[in-house]
Chain A
Amino acid sequence: MNILKSVYNWCEVRLGIKELVEKELTGYLLPRNINFWYSMGSIILFIFVMQVLTGILLLVYYIPEADKAFGSVVGIMNRVPFGWLIRMCHVIGSNMMVLFVLFHMLSVLFMGSYKSPRELNWLTGFVLFTLVQALCLTGYLLPWSQLSFWATTVATNSVGAIPHIGQFLVEFLRGGKLVGPPTLGRFYTLHIAVIPILLASVIGAHIFFLERIGVSTPPFGLDNTKNRWQGDAFRYEGHPGGIPFFPNYLLRDMTSIAIYFALLAAVVFFYPNLFFTKDTFIQANPFQTPAHIKPEWYFLANYQTLKLFPNEFIGLSIQGAAMTFLALLPFIDRGNEKHPLKRPLFLASASGGILLFIALMVWGHYS
């Protein structure tokens, strides 16, 4: 014990650990009316770490070569001890990441936390959302199954609707006229290096902005639910008399992460094929298009939207406009009120948007 105390003292005089703990943990106070939805960020961070760890482990056996990739994935699933567990955690974890990013965005939307002065938090969050989607899209091709191959063909093809440069972009993305071995090389590099580095950097920026401006106050359980920001000078939003981050809130965060982990384990052990179709188990064949190729659930709404419009460019433009609107929402919605029930226009639009997204998703699934 004395040795530990000596090491602690040695570090203390050099780093000021006590002060750091006081500032960032025990003295870091959060709103008293904080709720479960504030744990979404921690859950997503946990999923990201899990994805990185399981991804690194998969790299040990995965071969990024068109004629060997599928075989290497089959080997991971069937021959390598616990390979199935690591891959299933990675596959299901990626879907969970998209799901929890959506939950996080919805909670921020409904609690009005995107409003001034948190525009940068929202914008970086939005960039993270698109990066997570890009990570999923690029990872989808790597098993080199029929589903991977043809879903990537369809996804990359949709870029071709952009006038003038569309075809060039499609070929640039694929590394050739059609999806093939060069596409695998590109997507592999994007999936294991480029996007994760970008994602980690933007996560850093997102947390930095949160740290600088302070945690927003939820609008529930308060008399005054207006935005307190005055806009004349930088002010850290502190919460005097609030809940300490450590140990109180960390325990709540750990509980939320444990609930997430139980959900992940339930899918991994009881519904492992939830995100798989029969084409997942067949090696890619560039000369045989399977019937009814559909994207993952989170791209089904986009897929169905594209099908609804006779002109693919119009479909893409509408989606682009919707995404731009969402990204710029803090600059459009400048009202002071944060409580969702006191924002009828927002509540109607957001609920309508969610219902439309779900309806398009279900329609896309059954079409």
Chain B
Amino acid sequence: MDSSRRKFLFTCLGGIAAAGAGSALYPVYKYLAPQNTSANGEKVSIPASDLLPGDAKFFDFRGEAGVIVRKRSGELIALSAVCTHLGCIVQWERDKQDFLCPCHGGKYTEDGVVISGPPPRPLAKLAFTVAGGAIIVG
């Protein structure tokens, strides 16, 4: 068999093998790829009466953790509860009115601004509205 014919056949065989491998791996990739558990535009509704001044309420927001705080002044703020350092969920310290990330000691103010520790950025703010006695996040 001359070498050009051999090369051509090997190329064809390689192409078929690659197509076969691709058609086997694509379903496996799609099978394992994360599925959207919640719609992107999903809103979360929390009764405003659930939050007393100085309290915080955690909730699931589009597959991540969110928190809404009613400051002692009565002002509301909604934040992502995911620490910007390594992704642990921050905890609300009611007596100190701040957030502590128990993983590596990151501290944030009630507005999500970094006070101390390793977090590189403040907690992300979430948009919300208050209507008919409910706080609607998203």
Contacts and interface: CB of A to CB of B under 8 A. Distances in A.
Interface of A: 57, 60, 79-83, 85-86
Contacts of A83: 31
Interface in B23-38: 27-28, 30-33, 35
Interface of A is mostly: helix
A103 B31 CA distance: 33
Interface of B is mostly: helix
Given A57-B31, A80-B31, A81-B30, 6 more contacts: A57-B28, A79-B35, A81-B27, A81-B31, A82-B31, A85-B27
B27 A80 contact: no
Contacts of A81: 27, 30-31, 33, 35
Nearest to A79: B35
Interface string B30-64: 11110100000000000000000000000000000
Q: How large is the interface on B (under 10, 10 to 19, 20 to 34, 35 or more residues)?
A: under 10
Contact of A86 (B27, B33, B35): B27
Nearest to B31: A82
Contacts of A80: 31, 35
A286 B33 CA distance: 36
A249 B69 CA distance: 72
Contacts of B33: 81
Nearest to A89: B27
A81 B35 CA distance: 9
A85 B35 CA distance: 17
Contacts of B31: 57, 60, 80-83, 86
A82 B35 CA distance: 12
Nearest to A85: B27
22 contacts: A57-B28, A57-B31, A57-B32, A60-B31, A60-B32, A79-B35, A80-B31, A80-B35, A81-B27, A81-B30, A81-B31, A81-B33, A81-B35, A82-B27, A82-B28, A82-B30, A82-B31, A83-B31, A85-B27, A86-B27, A86-B28, A86-B31
